[in-house]
Structure 1
Amino acid sequence: MAAHSPSPDLPDGGILAVARAQVLENGEPLGKDQVLRVLRLPEEFLDEALGLAHEVRMKWAGPEVEVEGIISLKTGGCPEDCHFCSQSGLFASPVRAARLDIPSLVEAAKQTAKTGATEFCIVAAVRGPDERLMAQVAAGIEAIRDEVDIQIACSLGMLTREQVDALAAMGVHRYNHNLETARSYFPQVVTTHTWEEREQTLRMVADAGMEVCCGGILGMGETLEQRAEFAADLTALDPDEVPLNFFDPRPGTPFGDLDVMPAADALRAVAAFRLALPRTMLRFAGGRELTLGDLGARKGLLGGINAVIVGNYLTTLGRTPETDLEMLGELTMPVKALNATL
């Protein structure tokens, strides 16, 4: 893929004309420097950027919206020091370690399916799964399959090759492992493992034939240059899905005193990431309620987003599934059917 550098004499909104030709017409992603120009757009160009991103989404990713629910199989007590996360056992946060039993997991899958969701993601707060957790995941997937017609995804931290192969054999079709932020900023966010270790897991997941879900959290103190770098990192990885989280400060964590990202910056990022990832499923995830509110969420859904997590997140509250589904209906956005995912 050819690298693109914006002309220095382009006016403020000139990058949108470039993006219209490059991304909308030709389906070619914006490069890092071009994404940075979108992230720097003055506010008077924001609606135009979102409108273009929506056109790109409709042309290259289609009109349907995928709905997903998530559940925490193991909460808290994680040995890693991700500075944003209240599930780390190293910080004095209110979250306490807990495990879910198999009947509760099945019930959560049933409730998720009732919302019309086609995706159910089993999440565990761990560096990587041990033998006990892998056995519990296997038992949970089998029990869910006996009673619920839904696709199953997992997010269990960093994996070995053997664990990747085992999950693929269980029928896990998508694996989530977020890179969280740009490679250059990652050491400011996590010190107990590296960005490269996360990337290695993602490469193995793709090699095993599972879909790759990889995104991150915006607004953790990274610069706009690093935000553009992160979009380029994801473009290079070419994941099937990118969940966009917006930072929600958690008490007791090292990042607990950071400010919430301005809504306009979050919407610029939605447009920019869509223009960098024209064919990718771009999912609204954690923090959108706090950062964007209802009006901003609607703008995002009309600005490139084509997937949502419904219900609560891992340690933060979301909107009710009914509220999100009602909003999709008002925006005349069709929810992706299960048979379209198989």
Structure 2
Amino acid sequence: MTIASDQIEQAAHADERDILEIAREQVLEQGVGLDAEQTLKVLQLPDERLEELLQLAHDVRMQWCGPEVEVEGIISLKTGGCPEDCHFCSQSGLFTSPVRSAWIDIPSLVESAKQTAKSGATEFCIVAAVRGPDKRLLSQVAAGIEAIRAEVDIEIACSLGMLTQEQVDQLAAMGVHRYNHNLETARSHFPNVVTTHSWEERWDTLRMVRDAGMEVCCGGILGMGETLEQRAEFAADLASLEPDEVPLNFLNPRPGTPFGDLEVLEPTEALKSVGAFRLALPRTILRYAGGREITLGDLGAKQGIMGGINAVIVGNYLTTLGRPVESDLDMLEDLSMPIKALNDTL
């Protein structure tokens, strides 16, 4: 046998290895995330191997992230009336969605931050439904951050859409700890989800945020009609960005939006995605976000926490109801998952 044919045979033999066996060696032992092709193989695993997958994902999370769970609360500073056409979002002013445009005042913002901190959360995210912030919004954010800091000991994050370099610099100067801007889905699927701006515009904002020294929070929504191949592509996109945090949302179809009639993901498919994303992103904060309530329920949520998730958003989301804060805190206590202390996030 020639050297070339021997190498081909070895490569073919390697391809025949079980993907979880490969992941155990590559991810658990070496801390190297799965690539798109490998992640696809995980997503294609039969349902009867779900428990095995989640156990491996949990082991990876414990090995490379530890047992602590980061808790975060979010609030919408400016709700509704967004000019963009993100097909999943009831805050778009282009759809017949039941969300009216509204602003929250500074005292209410501070009170929300106080209540979030009381839950044990270390992060409070100020969100606005906009393409990008104008001067009025940035002034409101600056005033809100100053007021919160005067009364609450909590890290402050923002999610204000696409940014210019000047705006990035302003937020960094305000002391914003982390900036959230989701890529939402795979690059190849993005035009089916949003048409009023590009995936590349979102990517540019994230690059500027990282270069300015803020932490990058970037995830998306699963169940928006993407294929398994595109879901694996999305995991690889995120891995190449190297975000500090990835919020995983599951589509909660909203009336009046183009995605209002899509089916909710099957629980096994959602949990398989949780495990796959953990294996693709072994060192990243992987956060439960919107849609887990209707997709997974209480039991499924616990399975995800024991299958790679190491952060949660508590309370309500921007336009949908979440679980009661106490329910999530009780769940973490039942699972013996300690909440990350504030000084561990500094």
Shorter-chain TM band: over 0.9
**Cα drift, residue 243 of structure 1:** 0.1
1:24-173 equivalent positions in 2, closer than 5 A: 24-173=28-177
| Cα distance in 1 between the residues matched to 2:70 and 2:32 | 23
Q: Deviations over 1:124-160 (max 9, x none)?
A: 0000000000000000000000000000000000000
Alignment match, 2:333: 329
Match of 1:190 among 194, 205, 218: 194
**Cα drift, residue 301 of structure 1:** 0.2
| Cα distance in 1 between the residues matched to 2:229 and 2:103 | 39
Aligned length: 336
| Cα distance in 1 between the residues matched to 2:27 and 2:299 | 26
Whether the 8 Å contact between 1:65 and 1:335 is mirrored in structure 2 is: yes
**Cα drift, residue 44 of structure 1:** 1.0
| Cα distance in 2 between the residues matched to 1:226 and 1:59 | 28
Q: Closer, same or farther in 2 for the Cα pair 1:104/1:28, shift >3 Å?
A: same
Q: Closer, same or farther in 2 for the Cα pair 1:8/1:264, shift >3 Å?
A: farther
Alignment match, 2:183: 179
Q: Deviations over 1:56-99 (max 9, x none)?
A: 00000111000000000000000000000000000000011000
Whether the 8 Å contact between 1:263 and 1:291 is mirrored in structure 2 is: yes
Whether the 8 Å contact between 1:6 and 1:15 is mirrored in structure 2 is: no
Q: Deviations over 1:264-321 (max 9, x none)?
A: 0000000000000000000000000000000000000000000000000000000011
Alignment match, 2:16: 10
| TM-score, structure 1 normalization | 0.97
CA RMSD of aligned residues (A): 1.1
Q: Closer, same or farther in 2 for the Cα pair 1:100/1:189, shift >3 Å?
A: same
**Cα drift, residue 261 of structure 1:** 0.5
Alignment match, 1:259: 263
> Any stretches of 5+ residues in structure 2 without a counterpart?
1-10
Alignment match, 2:231: 227
**Cα drift, residue 10 of structure 1:** 2.7
Q: Deviations over 1:217-268 (max 9, x none)?
A: 0000000000000000000000000000000000000010000000000000
Whether the 8 Å contact between 1:6 and 1:34 is mirrored in structure 2 is: no
| TM-score, structure 2 normalization | 0.96
1:248-327 equivalent positions in 2, closer than 5 A: 248-327=252-331
Deviation beyond 4 Å, 4+ runs, structure 1: 5-9
Alignment match, 2:3: none
Q: Structure 2: which amino acid aligns with 1:121? A: C
Percent sequence identity over matched residues?
A: 77
| Cα distance in 1 between the residues matched to 2:204 and 2:210 | 10
